[in-house]
Every structure is written in C-alpha cells, then in structure tokens.
C-alpha cells in the first residue's frame, strides 16, 4: 500500500481535451499542455493525462463529472476562478471577451452599447456572456451564433475566417481562444469588451482564470499555488507565446 501511495504522489494527473487547440490536444501542443508540463517539472512529478472531450453533449460540466469528480485525474489547468464544485488556485491570468473586426473599418467599439453594433452583422460564440449581452439588447435576431465549443471538429479560428470573408462584420469571443490565430489574420483588430451595468444587472466579460482540483484536495491546490507564486513569469511567457492578452482592471490589455 505504501508503494502505491508513493507512486501516486509522484504523478501529476491532469484532465484535458484531446482536440481543442489552442487550449490542449493529445500531441501536447496547447497552452494548457505547456502549463501542465511546467507545473509537473516544478513539482518533480511525472505528467500523465486523462483525455476527455470538453465539447461533448454535456459540455464542460460533464467533462468535470467524468474526469475530476470520477477521480480519473486530479487537476485541470484552466478554469474560471471560484467555479462551483472545485477548489481553485489563485488566478494566474485574467483575460476578456473581445470584439474582432477588420482594422480598416475603423468601428467605434467601446462597449456592448456601442451604436455601431445596431447596424453591422455580429457573430458570437453561443452559450457565453457575449450571447447574454446581445440578448439583453435585442441584438441576437440579426446576429450569427458560432458553436465552436460544441463541435470537436471546429477551431476557434472559424470566427476570424468569418470576419475576413465578410460573413460577419464584428465577432465577439474569448480572447485566449483566438489570440493564437491572429498572426494569420493581420488585417483584424481586437478591442476589449468591458464589464458593464448599463442594463441594470452586472455583465462580466473579463474573468480571472485558475487551476482547479477536487473541492477537498486542498493539499494539491496549495502545492499548485506555490508553483504559481514561484513561476508566474514563466506562466506569463507561455500564455503570451499563444497570443493570450492579459486584462487590466481599468478595462484594457497589457
């Protein structure tokens, strides 16, 4: 029994999607993969994966139920800070939803209340805060939903292609999903979608992101926190290399 416990302690068992770049894939090419590898090195553990799609019918909730909750693995590398049902580390980055548009259009986009949104064709990632914000402003009937998070064969790059091809004029999506692909779309600009209370209820478009473990596994959470504190600059470098931009409290990017 002691031998088994020692072997388990020598592993970092991470749950990840095998086919969802730029986040992760089974070839280790995503930024979550690189972060997991860096964490495992610092902990002196061997990194092993449990692969499970986050884009199945039940979405991310089923992913967590089938992996972390089932004790098939012990940690996920990229979850919203404070997500229900998990113990999360301190945030190691904060990013935001963004507007994406052709730079030469010069759209005056400062918020979800920008008048230009009422006269352009909008594309948005479905089942996200962006959809909620558009619904509250009665903008969804003329907008085009993208369901990348529901289709394992699609890349977040599909929204950028839609802007480039004029299928839509303005896209709204999570910046870490598309930052990696922007170098292939040099004519596109992005603008932060700021948090707002203009419709009464608070609308949040920026989110602190953390690592997550089972709610009772505070020992592993604390170990991960120590890695984050000691190696924040290394984690920043990994994220930047994938085009992830960091949100600042005053509503802009670094």
Residue range 99-121, pLDDT digits in tens: 999 999 999 999 999 999 999 99
Q: Per-residue pLDDT tens for 182-206?
A: 999 999 999 999 999 888 889 999 9
Mean pLDDT of 124-132: 96
pTM: 0.91
Yes or no: say if 30 and 21 are a contact pair by the CB < 8 Å rule: yes
Record the tokens describing residue 229, joined without a space. Answer: 């504190």
Record the tokens describing residue 248, joined without a space. Answer: 């600042």
Fold held by 2-93+209-241: D-Maltodextrin-Binding Protein; domain 2 (3.40.190)
Mean pLDDT of 155-166: 97
Mean pLDDT of 161-177: 98
Yes or no: say if 22 and 180 are a contact pair by the CB < 8 Å rule: yes
Residues 215-238 as b or e (16 or more Cβ within 10 Å = b): eebeebbebbbebbeebeebbeeb
Record the tokens describing residue 100, joined without a space. Answer: 């994406």
Q: What is the mean pLDDT of the chain?
A: 93
In the chain, CATH 3.40.190.10 sits at 2-93+209-241, 94-192
Fold held by 94-192: D-Maltodextrin-Binding Protein; domain 2 (3.40.190)
Q: What percent of the chain has pLDDT over 70?
A: 94
């Amino acid at each position: 029994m002691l031998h088994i416990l020692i072997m388990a302690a020598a592993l970092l068992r991470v749950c990840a999607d095998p086919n969802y770049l730029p986040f992760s894939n089974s070839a280790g090419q995503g930024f979550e993969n690189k972060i997991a590898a860096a964490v495992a090195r610092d902990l002196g553990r061997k990194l092993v994966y449990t692969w499970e799609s986050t884009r199945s019918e039940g979405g991310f909730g089923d992913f967590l139920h089938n992996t972390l909750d089932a004790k098939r693995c012990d940690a996920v590398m990229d979850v919203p800070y404070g997500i229900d049902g998990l113990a999360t580390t301190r945030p190691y980055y904060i990013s935001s939803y963004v507007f994406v548009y052709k730079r030469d259009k010069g759209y005056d986009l400062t918020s979800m209340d920008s008048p230009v949104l009422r006269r352009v064709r909008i594309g948005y990632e479905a089942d996200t805060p962006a959809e909620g914000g558009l619904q509250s402003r009665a903008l969804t009937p003329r907008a085009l939903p993208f369901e990348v998070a529901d289709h394992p064969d699609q890349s977040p790059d599909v929204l950028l292609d839609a802007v480039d091809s004029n299928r839509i004029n303005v896209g709204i999506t999570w910046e870490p999903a598309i930052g990696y692909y922007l170098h292939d779309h040099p004519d596109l600009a992005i603008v932060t979608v700021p948090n707002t209370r203009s419709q009464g209820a608070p609308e949040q478009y920026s989110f602190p992101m953390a690592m997550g473990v089972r709610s009772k596994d505070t020992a592993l959470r604390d170990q991960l926190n120590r890695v984050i504190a000691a190696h924040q600059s290394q984690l920043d470098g990994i994220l930047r290399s994938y085009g992830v931009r960091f949100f600042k409290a005053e509503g802009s990017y670094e």
